[in-house]
Amino acid sequence: MKYIVCEKPGEFQLKEKNKPEKVDGEALVRIKKVGICGTDLHAYGGNQAFFTYPRILGHELASEIVEIEENDQNLKAGDNVVIMPYITCKTCIACRNGKSNCCTQMKVLGIHTDGGMQELLSVPIDLLIPAKNLSDDEMAIVEPLAIGAHAIRRAQLQKGETIVVVGCGPIGIGIMKLAQIKGAKVIAIDMNQGRLDYAKEIIGVDHIVRGGAEAVDAIAKITNGDMCTAVFDATGHKGALESGPEFMAHGGRYILVGLFKGELAFTHPAIHAKETSILCSRNATLEDLKHVITILETGEFPTASFVTHNVDFKDMIANFDSWLDPSNGVMKATVNF
């Protein structure tokens, strides 16, 4: 079967290998579509944390069961399933406390172990989530949207809150739309006007603000000086991460969703005066993925505009570099297998 491997930063290769054999407790699935996310882009660029090469990328996966044993979910060959890409130990303190998203022995498909850029994959049955009512595109965006769903749940977001989401990439857009569905008022911040326009015109956020020196004043004006009770960073950019508390109200929460590979610095008196709650949000849980599937089934998320680029696997290597350039209008790229 064919697969695509990132041999080293900046180099993909299309190769062939033997088909995997199903083992007990696992299902053999056919990969139908793979979503490309920031992690894949960073891995290709050589700046992804917790990463080694060579690696088969891909953890945003739409798939169909090829072979499966009798199971508690009554899943059968031919069923469409979303693959939860987080392989956990189930025994560490995080897993025991219902926080499997930050398992101490976490292995994520496509990051710590080979992922879905291959025609067939054998995965544990308990990672499969039925998705019979979703299209391939919808299945492929469940995981990135679940990142946003988990961040919102982590923040304990309430109806009527006014929030800021910094970063209008795929994760940020997911946070914005899911927060709207939750009943929040959303302010979007980004440096890219095209992405701000998408947030306003397609997602329907309440306000858009261009990032930069004037952003704090703009948020203060919008909120009549109150600032925002929750601020979500979806950039992973050092400067953005360190300036996020400036948009936050006294007594508010700052949720770090984006990951920066390095150290961050905050002015302690400034965050202390606001009694800032700094919350990191990592990955997602089964509950989050199931919640997103429910949202997608209602048609409330604009999948058609969100998936902006799509190619067959044989054309991926030739197109991948172009997806690194925001000027090409990439929101979510996907690859058909």
Predicted local distance difference test score (pLDDT) of residue 113: 95
The helix (H) or strand (E) run that includes residue 198 is helix 193-198
CB 147, CB 283: distance < 8 Å: yes
CA distance 218 to 251: 20
CB 122, CB 20: distance < 8 Å: yes
CA distance 277 to 291: 25
Angle among Cα 290, 130, 71 to the nearest 5 degrees reads 115
Positions in the chain short of pLDDT 50: none
CB 68, CB 76: distance < 8 Å: yes
The helix (H) or strand (E) run that includes residue 195 is helix 193-198
| Closest C-alpha to 232, from 175, 283, 183 | 175
| Closest C-alpha to 210, from 227, 233, 228, 192 | 192
Beta bridge partners of 26: 124
Beta bridge partners of 61: 34
Report the chain's C-alpha Rg in angstroms: 20
| Maximum distance among all Cα pairs of the chain, rounded to whole angstroms | 63
CB 18, CB 2: distance < 8 Å: no
User: Which structural domains are found in the chain, ordered by start?
Assistant: 2-140+302-336 (3.90.180.10), 152-280 (3.40.50.720)
Predicted local distance difference test score (pLDDT) of residue 146: 98
pTM of the model: 0.96
Sign of CA pseudo-dihedral 181, 182, 186, 192: negative
